[in-house]
């Protein structure tokens, strides 16, 4: 009767099951009996056992320094702080750009007013025409700048999102300016 491969103690299949600790109690008993009488299997088994012990007692993987977690947390916190700082700086830059654009607009307005006053002083005849022209130019200038200013203010609000206090202030400021110019125009 040919021996079943799974029962052949010299087959790879059997050795795999031995190494996987996959033998039944009966098979284990027969295996120990076989080892006692078969020198070839006994020597091979002892060699495998030595390798197994070697692997078990091999140097453990390098231990992480005790402060590793603490340092990692600190680094992450630092990165978050940096990101917050960067978003704050971006907000400041946007605020500065909006203020700068507003400044240009204000300069233009001031120059227009000065021109209007000069017109009043130089000639009563062209007074009305010059004043109206100045007002028209002033209104046009403000209207040209308004979309840009509102766009920048909106971008600022988006960037500063949970702490959009500054952007809100800018927005309120421009709303007030717009209502002022609406009153003058
Ligand atoms: Zn054997």
Handedness of CA 139, 140, 144, 147 (dihedral sign): positive
Distance separating alpha carbons of residues 92 and 156, to the nearest angstrom: 9
Per-residue pLDDT, averaged over 139-145, amounts to 71
Query: Residue 125: is its pLDDT beyond 90?
Result: no
Distance separating alpha carbons of residues 117 and 26, to the nearest angstrom: 115
Query: Residue 82: is its pLDDT beyond 60?
Result: yes
88-92, 116-120, 146-150, 160-164: range with highest mean pLDDT: 88-92
**Which pLDDT belongs to residue 105?**
67
- Average of per-residue pLDDT values in the chain: 75
Per-residue pLDDT, averaged over 154-162, amounts to 63
How close is the Cα of 170 to the center of ligand 1, in Å? 89
Residue 6 to residues 16, 37, 55, 108, 160, Cα–Cα distance (Å):
10, 20, 27, 97, 71
How close is the Cα of 43 to the center of ligand 1, in Å? 10
How close is the Cα of 57 to the center of ligand 1, in Å? 28
Please state, as a whole number, how many other Cβ atoms lie within 10 Å of the Cβ of residue 165: 10
Query: Residue 180: is its pLDDT beyond 80?
Result: no
How close is the Cα of 32 to the center of ligand 1, in Å? 10
Confidence of residue 126 (pLDDT cuts 50, 70, 90): low
């Amino acid at each position: 009767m040919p021996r079943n491969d799974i029962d052949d103690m010299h087959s790879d299949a059997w050795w795999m099951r031995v190494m996987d600790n996959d033998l039944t109690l009966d098979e284990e008993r027969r295996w120990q009996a076989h080892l006692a009488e078969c020198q070839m299997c006994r020597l091979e088994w002892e060699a495998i056992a030595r390798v197994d012990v070697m692997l078990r007692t091999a140097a453990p993987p390098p231990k992480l320094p005790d402060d590793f977690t603490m340092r990692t947390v600190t680094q992450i916190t630092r990165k978050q702080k940096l990101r917050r700082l960067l978003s704050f700086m971006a907000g400041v830059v946007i605020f500065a750009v909006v203020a700068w654009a507003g400044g240009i607009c204000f300069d233009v307005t001031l120059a227009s007013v000065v021109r209007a006053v000069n017109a009043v002083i130089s000639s009563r005849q062209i007074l009305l025409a010059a004043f109206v022209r100045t007002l028209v130019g002033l209104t046009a200038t403000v209207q040209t700048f308004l979309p840009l200013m509102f766009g920048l203010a909106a971008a600022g609000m988006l960037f500063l999102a949970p702490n959009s206090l500054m952007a809100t202030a800018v927005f309120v400021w421009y709303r007030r300016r717009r209502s002022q110019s609406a009153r003058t125009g």
